[in-house]
Chains A and B, each alone.
Chain A
């Protein structure tokens, strides 16, 4: 079964600085997808970025980029130019493919709480 590990319970970053949130994963699948979601205090999960296992380039989406190292099974999220509004919980997730080949449920890590300091 897939497993996601996020080893940083909390992180602090100065406003306008970059920060890296760590994520490692475990899967026996050759084809898989990795996601990062943001959860502000309001509770809603907001999709940030996706990386497919066969994507040759690291995914980028605005200030978010994914440092994908397939051999190390890591998919770290990099947030550049941090803003106060980035303060939230961040979850790494993977599609749980064994149910079917389509858009399957997600397996989440425990999350990292990011606090941006002015």
Chain B
């Protein structure tokens, strides 16, 4: 049973560098979500996809953040010119769009990528 995977699990980078994170969703899931979680807070929604279409990106924190899902399978989240305030856990989740009963709304989360900007 392969769940959502994220790579890398940890990333340490210097301020001003670009970083890219990868998320591989559960294979049959067509929706993919990115969240950011800072210390002591709940996850905060950033963007999401249905297949390769990005349905919402207004919540991306600045124009330094971008995400894509070119073939409707894995997704990447890129942060350009990183700042110390970008240090956080970046979580990816996937789900099916909608079908059947309430359990279909469940989002399955990956282990996250912890970013530290020095």
Using a CB–CB distance below 8 Å, which chain A residues touch chain B?
Answer: 4, 33, 35, 37, 42-47, 50-52, 55, 91, 93, 95-96, 99-111
A-B CB contact pairs (8 Å), 25 listed: A37-B109, A43-B89, A43-B111, A45-B43, A47-B106, A47-B107, A50-B102, A50-B103, A50-B106, A91-B42, A93-B42, A96-B45, A99-B48, A99-B56, A102-B50, A103-B98, A103-B105, A105-B35, A106-B33, A106-B35, A106-B45, A108-B44, A109-B42, A110-B40, A111-B41
CA distance A48 to B110 in the complex (A): 15
**Residue of A at shortest CB range from B56?**
A99
Q: Which residues of B contact A107 (CB under 8 A)?
A: 45
Question: B101's closest neighbor in chain A, by CB?
Answer: A52
- Chain B residue contacts of A111, Cβ below 8 A: 41-42
Q: How far is the CA of A104 from the CA of B35 in the complex (A)?
A: 13
A residues in contact with B109, CB < 8 Å: 37, 44-46
Residue B81 interfacial (CB < 8 Å): no
Tell me the nearest residue of chain A to B91, going by C-beta: A45
Q: Do residues A33 and B102 form an inter-chain contact, with CB atoms below 8 A?
A: yes
Within B60-104, which residues are at the interface with A (CB < 8 Å)?
A: 89, 91, 93, 95-98, 102-104
Which residues, 13 to 46 on B, are CB-close (under 8 Å) to A? Answer: 31, 33, 35, 40-45
Please give the distance in Å from A37's CB to the nearest CB on chain B.
8
Name A46's closest neighbour in chain B (CB-CB).
Answer: B109
- A102 in complex: contacting residue of B45, B93, B97, CB < 8 Å: B97
